Structure 1
Amino acid sequence: MLKKKAKEYIITIITVFFCLLSVTEAAASSNSAGALEVRPVYIFENKSGRDPFRPRSMQDEFPAIVEVSITAFSLQGITTDSLGTKAALFRSRSGTDFGYIFINGRLYGENNNVITGIAGEVRSDREVLLIQGDREVLFRLEEFQGGPNIRPDVPGNAPAGQLNNNAGRQNEDN
């Protein structure tokens, strides 16, 4: 019988030890629960730095620290918005992965950074003059540059051999 009481005594001591251990762990975790930091699973980082819903004219300008030479540019296209503002699209032959946009006398590079030291003007629907220091380069688009949606089908612009739909209807009515 003495052995039985000794076993019960040892089991009781071990049980009390584990109970005290769990209580101290619970107290430690409750103290750190007040300082628990909740972090989101994913944080979106706008790496382009430009809000796509705000016009370029309303944004702050941060000059870029980029060495750019206008002699390495090739003119890709000229666009006109509904207000008549023209923008020229350039690609650099220097191996950069991004293009450049020239609008309102300013050249914009990667992440909407203004490239300082380059001025110029869009002279027509086919010509852009860029000035960098003492260099002036006049860029011209080819007369018929290939690609989808380059020239919409408007009266007088139909390729040779195709009739304009409006012209065909006029002939049928007569």
Structure 2
Amino acid sequence: MTEHSIQMDVAPELLPLMKLIPSLAPELGKESDRGCALLVGCILEKYLRASIAQAIAIPNKASHFMGRGQIGKGIESAECLGLISAVDAKALKATIQIRNDFAHVAEPGKSFSSPEVEKAVVGLYSIYRHGDHAAVLQAGARQAYVSFSLSLCSLLLARADQITRRAPPADLKELTDRMFFWWFRD
């Protein structure tokens, strides 16, 4: 291993998603501003769902924590599971709010270069660090939004990989026995 190589010990379920991140920005660049914002919402939903599935004992039950199109519920579930902090949840909600502004408002000419969207994008960066973040717009609000969103995807995968998956009980009898004795303990 050279000094510049990085050894990655990532859960096999998360590795394909991790490898996908670098190719997402160029693909989002091909979309309109509205399409870009909508796809970012879909991408965040996919990464959030994968992170939740990694953290729970029965991965195919992740839909109980976050149904399709219920990213708000997924953010709350991820926070309750300890996958993300309250600050991370705030960042995800603010990112999704920008997506919603594009999705649910039929304003002709709505773009990342409009002042209200630029202000919202600058606001994303102030969630983690206080100060003047107007410099993030040097590459444009759209690029700043995409970069921030893809960073959140990486964060979700990293946090999910740090969580030890909870083991399901061996059988229902074992679970009920444990619950019974816990309830009536001294």
The structure that is strand-richer by fraction is 1
Name the larger-Rg structure: 1
The structure that is helix-richer by fraction is 2
More relative contact order, 1 or 2 (CA 8 Å, 6+ apart): 2
TM-score over 0.5 (shorter chain): no
TM-score tier (shorter): under 0.3
Q: TM-score, normalised by structure 1?
A: 0.21
Q: TM-score, normalised by structure 2?
A: 0.20
